[in-house]
Amino acid sequence: MRDYLKLHFIVLLWGFTAVLGKLLTVPPVELVFWRTLLASTGLAVLLVARRAVWRIPAGQAVRLMSVGTLVAAHWITFFLAARLSSVSVCLAGLATLALWTSLLEPLLLWRRVRGYEVGLGLITMVGLYLVSQAELDQLLGLGVAVLSAGLSALFSVLNAKLIKSHPPLRLTFYEMLGACLSIALFFPVYSHYFTQGQGLQLAWHGYDWLWLGLLAGVCTVYAFSTSVELMKRLSPFAVNLTINLEPVYGIGLAVLVFGSKERMATGFYLGTLLIVFSVLIHPLVARLMKDKQPEPTPPITV
């Protein structure tokens, strides 16, 4: 029971990241730079403290860091979506992750298309339509959130291969490092073309130091390392099912923190309910169809 409660707390922390992204004043690109810099530093400390082997051949390191660029793109679009719309709309779009995964896995892993996943994907599309109709003024943020979910799904599919040959902690360290370096290399282009002449805004203001500390230290390093430990004792089915509750927790937290700003029309909640239903029912249908559940890879979640 303690492990299950701890797992739900971890998923609650991941759902809280969208709220933190809304509270922070740092723009999305600079925000993800700080998050990945602090997270990679924290993971390096963990690797040293645990006396884990972290050195790998240069070719493998470059490959892992290249995949980290997808993490950077996913997080940037995720926080951008939260700024363009609301936390609730952002998380509703992110809930299409399962739909994206069902589309990308057959293409990239050469497995057969599963009929029930197509059916659940159609339910997700109906839910997304209801959400978009209910919040017409937030369509841009919803679209960016759906794109963010697609980037996350692509990363997860690629990570499913990499996790077989690298310990999770070391794998995530190199991916965080790659995400940080890719943003640093992107800074000159970003500063010149995307900041309306304001340049980089790396400075922290107000409580940014606190929100960034929670985001990198608690929601990333602590949550990840704890999830890896829990995966040694809990079944893949239980872990996957609980992680799917992230949008539910996140929307609930957003309403608590931001109040009326996060209260949406009825159609939004009906659409979100359909999306979450399709996500939660997936592992149950997969088990019923006697499909082998994949081992849960530690997700680079929001």
Q: pLDDT per position in the chain (302 positions), as tens?
A: 788 888 889 989 988 998 999 999 999 999 999 999 999 999 999 889 888 888 888 998 999 999 899 999 999 999 999 899 888 888 888 888 877 877 787 777 676 777 777 787 788 778 877 877 767 778 898 899 999 988 988 888 887 778 778 888 888 899 999 999 999 999 999 998 888 878 899 999 999 999 999 999 898 888 887 876 777 777 655 666 677 778 888 888 888 888 877 777 788 888 888 888 877 787 777 777 765 555 555 555 56
Tell whether 301 is covered by a domain. Answer: no
CB 3 within 8 A of CB 146: no
Q: What is the pLDDT of residue 297?
A: 55
Count CB neighbours of 151 within 10 A.
21
Query: Cα–Cα distance between 50 and 48 in angstroms, integer?
Result: 5
- DSSP letter, residue 222: I
Q: Looking at the domain assignment, is residue 162 inside a domain?
A: yes
> Is 299 a domain residue?
no
Q: Kindly state whether residue 298 falls inside one of the protein's structural domains.
A: no
- Calculate the alpha carbon distances from 293 to 200, 242, 261, 263 in Å: 44, 14, 39, 36
CA distances from 22 to 39, 51, 115, 273, 297 (A): 19, 37, 38, 23, 27
Q: Is residue 294 part of a domain?
A: no
d(CA 295, CA 7): 16
In a domain, 8, yes or no: yes
- Domain of residue 155 covers 2-288
pLDDT, residue 188, reads 93
What is residue 37's predicted lDDT score, i.e. its pLDDT? 95
> Packing angle between helix 139-162 and helix 168-193, nearest 10 degrees?
140
For residue 300, being part of any structural domain is answered with no
Q: Quick check: is 188 in a domain?
A: yes
What's the farthest any 2 CA atoms get from each other in the chain? 56
Domain count, the chain: 1
